[in-house]
């Protein structure tokens, strides 16, 4: 094979698949002994979601999981990233609370069925659905001692029950979102914030930073349990996945060049530096002073090196200008408008997302050069404008999303072959349109359209594009993979 052909292909053991999360797809919030999560009542509270809808049904995947697996098999994925609902496994959440056999049984069957289809389970332990009882009992993520112990116990129960078959574990999904959106801006559960119009209690100047540290400690405690008691026999990998978008200076002024680094420090370095390098980025301390919660020596030893790989969720890029008072962006203003007035890329349905594949490539390079670990891209996707209101036939021809994935798949190969970045996995978000948190069902990220009246699933062109692209770019895969789902057009 000539170099030209090789550089068009993915590395041999490259993993790809589609991703979901428990609360966004399962529904059936009140069956088989599931305990409440913090998203249950939050999403039922008027004013918390854009369309006033909640997660009680979602895509009904707790009941329709077999259909979802058939869909995955039709797309020919190698892997499926899904999350386990803590409150199905331990309804009250705590380390002395009973384990729910029905919860174990549900995920166990799902894992077996995946393996029967030759699909690798890629499992997230925590994708935002904290057991409500832990929040009520001791403040949930705000309570360092309790939450780390309870999370480690929950993780242990999962390793015991599923670790014989699951070899890819993610502890937490997106600690920045957990901390900032849940305890700073107050737009995600539990909705705490200093803004009294939004929340009766909370302190946005301190709580997000405390929660961030506690999430890292809980993550690292679970990893310690895995490495000491399970990894020697189960031989899997475990890590965390962080959200973060590429941040670039708006122009070449020194203050805006510095601003872009500050934005990266707060969006990514806040977690990635302690976990991979063993200390906070200096800018975090500069910005927050004594409000930045310290780690003890023992804690930082626990946290440092606690991820076997870099788990990367990314959607877009921003241009950065120094200034503004938003600590959650590192006291940096974000814009999609270039100095010449043009836009970075196509605008998505949600305000924070434009299509800019070069940002994806730049971020891969930045993370590889800074942390030197294999990168697993565990989320990447696009919400098409007005997809919620257009007719089905039109929604299935999701040209803007196809364009987005043409871009990211192109630069993915460039990052691997031209830049030498060690990327090992890629999971577009999401297998299905689903409950998009504070956006309710208004914003759709699916590669598959879901009719929420009938719960019927219809592959979009983007889903078929990705299936075909990976079929063509995987060594040997065209020989062994099943046919594509029926065409959307």
Q: How many CB atoms lie within 10 A of CB 367?
A: 24
For ligand PNW, the binding residues in 136-175 under the rule CB under 6 A are 173-174
Instruction: Single out the catalytic residue among 379, 387, 406, 453.
Output: 379
Residue 322: closest CA among 244, 261, 245? 261
Tell me the closest approach of the beta carbon of residue 131 to ligand PNW, in angstroms.
18
The reply to whether 379 belongs to the active site is yes
Alpha carbons 209 and 205: distance in angstroms, whole number: 8
Interface mask (CB under 6 A) for ligand PNW, residues 294-333, using x and -?
Answer: -------------------x--------------------
Tell me the closest approach of the beta carbon of residue 14 to ligand PNW, in angstroms.
22
- The owner of tokens 């200093």 is 194
Q: Is the dihedral of CA 301, 139, 57, 430 positive or negative?
A: negative
Tell me the closest approach of the beta carbon of residue 159 to ligand PNW, in angstroms.
23
Tokens of 75: 């797309």
Interface mask (CB under 6 A) for ligand PNW, residues 346-385, using x and -?
Answer: ------x--------------------------x------
Residue nearest to ligand PNW (CB): 352
Q: Taking the chain, what is the end-to-end CA distance rounded to the nearest angstrom? A: 35
Q: What are phi and psi of 305, to 5 degrees?
A: 80, 15
Can you tell me which of 177, 210, 260, 467 binds ligand PNW, judged by CB under 6 A? 177
Q: Cis bond leading into 430, ω under 30°?
A: yes
Can you tell me which of 133, 193, 243, 354 binds ligand PNW, judged by CB under 6 A? 243
Tell me the closest approach of the beta carbon of residue 355 to ligand PNW, in angstroms.
14
Q: What are phi and psi of 184, to 5 degrees?
A: -115, -65
Q: Is 257 exposed, middle or buried (0-12, 13-18, 19+ CB in 10 A)?
A: middle
CB nearer to ligand PNW: pick between 122 and 445: 445
For ligand PNW, the binding residues in 401-460 under the rule CB under 6 A are 429, 436, 445
For ligand PNW, the binding residues in 268-297 under the rule CB under 6 A are none
C-alpha distances in Å from residue 123, one per residue of 26, 149, 309: 15, 20, 14
Tell me the closest approach of the beta carbon of residue 384 to ligand PNW, in angstroms.
13
CB nearer to ligand PNW: pick between 156 and 430: 430
Tell me the closest approach of the beta carbon of residue 178 to ligand PNW, in angstroms.
10
DSSP class per residue in 405-474: HHHHHHHHHHHHHTS---EEEE--B-SS----GGGTTSS---SEEEETTTTEEEE-HHHHHHHHHHHHHS
- Are the C-beta atoms of 439 and 49 separated by less than 8 Å? yes
For ligand PNW, the binding residues in 58-77 under the rule CB under 6 A are none
- Are the C-beta atoms of 240 and 178 separated by less than 8 Å? no
The crossing angle, in degrees rounded to 10, of helices 461-473 and 399-417 is 20
The crossing angle, in degrees rounded to 10, of helices 207-225 and 144-162 is 40
Tell me the closest approach of the beta carbon of residue 483 to ligand PNW, in angstroms.
29
For ligand PNW, the binding residues in 199-218 under the rule CB under 6 A are none
Applying CB under 6 A, the site for ligand PNW has a residue count of 12
**H helix intervals, 45-100:** 61-75, 86-89
Tell me the closest approach of the beta carbon of residue 254 to ligand PNW, in angstroms.
27
Helix (H) or strand (E) holding 172: strand 168-173
Q: Cα 11 to the chain's mean position, in Å?
A: 23
Question: Which residues are annotated as catalytic?
Answer: 379
Residues binding ligand PNW (CB under 6 A):
21, 24, 173-174, 177, 243, 313, 352, 379, 429, 436, 445
């Amino acid at each position: 094979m000539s170099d030209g052909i090789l550089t068009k292909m993915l590395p041999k053991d490259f993993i790809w698949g589609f991703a979901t999360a428990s609360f966004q797809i399962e529904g059936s919030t009140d069956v088989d002994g599931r305990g409440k999560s913090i998203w249950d009542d939050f999403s039922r509270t008027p004013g918390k979601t854009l369309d006033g809808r909640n997660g009680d049904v979602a895509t009904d995947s707790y009941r329709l999981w077999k259909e979802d697996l058939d869909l995955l098999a039709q797309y020919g994925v190698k892997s499926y990233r899904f999350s386990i609902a803590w409150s199905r496994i331990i309804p009250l959440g705590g380390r002395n609370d009973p384990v729910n056999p029905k919860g174990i049984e549900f995920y166990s069957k799902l894992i077996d069925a995946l393996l029967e289809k030759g699909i690798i389970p890629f499992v997230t332990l925590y994708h935002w659905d904290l057991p409500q009882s832990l929040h009520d009992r001791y403040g949930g993520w705000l309570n360092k001692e309790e939450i780390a112990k309870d999370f480690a116990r929950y993780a242990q129960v999962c390793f015991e029950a599923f670790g014989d078959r699951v070899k890819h574990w993610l502890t937490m999904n997106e600690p920045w979102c957990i901390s900032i959106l849940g305890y700073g801006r107050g737009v995600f559960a539990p909705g705490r914030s200093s803004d009294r119009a939004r929340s009766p209690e909370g302190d946005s100047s301190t709580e997000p930073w405390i929660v961030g540290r506690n999430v890292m400690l809980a993550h690292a405690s679970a990893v310690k349990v895995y490495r000491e008691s399970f990894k020697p026999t189960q031989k899997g990998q475990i890590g965390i996945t962080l959200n973060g978008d590429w941040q670039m200076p708006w122009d070449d002024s020194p203050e805006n060049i510095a601003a872009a680094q500050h934005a990266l420090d707060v969006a990514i370095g806040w977690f990635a530096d302690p976990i991979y390098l063993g200390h906070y980025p200096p800018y975090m301390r500069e910005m927050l002073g004594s409000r930045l919660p310290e780690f003890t020596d023992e804690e930082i030893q626990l946290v440092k090196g606690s991820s076997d790989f870099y788990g990367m969720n990314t959607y877009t890029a921003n241009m950065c200008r120094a200034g503004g008072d938003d600590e959650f962006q590192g006291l940096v203003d974000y814009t999609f408008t270039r100095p010449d007035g043009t836009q970075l890329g196509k605008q998505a349905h949600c305000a924070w997302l434009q299509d800019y594949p070069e940002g994806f490539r730049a971020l891969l390079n930045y993370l590889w050069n800074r942390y030197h670990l294999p990168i697993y891209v565990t989320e990447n996707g696009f919400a098409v404008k007005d997809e919620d209101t257009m007719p089905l036939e039109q929604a299935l021809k999701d040209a803007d999303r196809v364009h987005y994935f043409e871009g990211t798949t192109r630069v993915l190969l460039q990052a691997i072959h031209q830049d030498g970045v060690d990327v090992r996995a890629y999971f577009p978000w999401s297998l299905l349109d689903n409950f998009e948190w504070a956006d309710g069902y208004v914003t759709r990220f699916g590669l598959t359209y879901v009719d929420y009246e009938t719960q019927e699933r219809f592959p979009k062109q983007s889903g078929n594009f990705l299936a075909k692209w990976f079929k063509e770019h995987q060594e040997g895969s065209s020989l062994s993979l099943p046919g594509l789902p029926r065409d959307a057009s």
